[in-house]
Amino acid sequence: MTGHNPRSWSWSNDRLVTWGGWANNLLLKFLLDKHGYGTTSSFDAFALEGIKEREEINPDTISELVRNSSINLSLREAEKFREPSKYYRYLSTALNTEEAESAIPITEFTQWLNDCKIF
């Protein structure tokens, strides 16, 4: 990571380097896919790949998107943020949904977006 600013987003072809970490980049992937910015083919803790619509993608735009719309992830998507538990499968669907949705790191994601800029 020497020489890289983790608060700076940058483009390399169709790869958006965010240094956001796994959870932030996963949530960013879901948001981009759901709100018509194209389908992200893959992501990791450092970047997202396969993005075609790049003109409007920046931390300010995504932050505004989060403020102005709800983050409606499917249960399957929300479960990706949840810590595994041997008791989760015994919960009702309503409690599974509540557990999964409460694990989505919206506050941390918003704070990260506010700290970032794009170059």
pLDDT along the chain (119 residues), means of 10: 80 90 95 84 93 83 89 92 88 90 94 89
Sheet holding 117-118, edge to edge: 42-43, 47-49, 15-17, 8-12, 117-118
* H or E element at residue 117: strand 117-118
pLDDT at 111: 95
Instruction: Calculate the alpha carbon distances from 70 to 27, 48, 64, 101, 111 in Å.
Output: 13, 22, 11, 12, 16
pLDDT at 1: 55
Please tell me whether residue 53 adopts helix, strand or coil conformation.
coil
pLDDT at 2: 65
For residue 17, the cross-strand partners are: 10, 47
pLDDT at 100: 92
Backbone angles phi, psi at 117, to 5 degrees: -145, 165
CB contact at 8 A, 48 and 18: yes
Q: What pTM does this model have?
A: 0.89
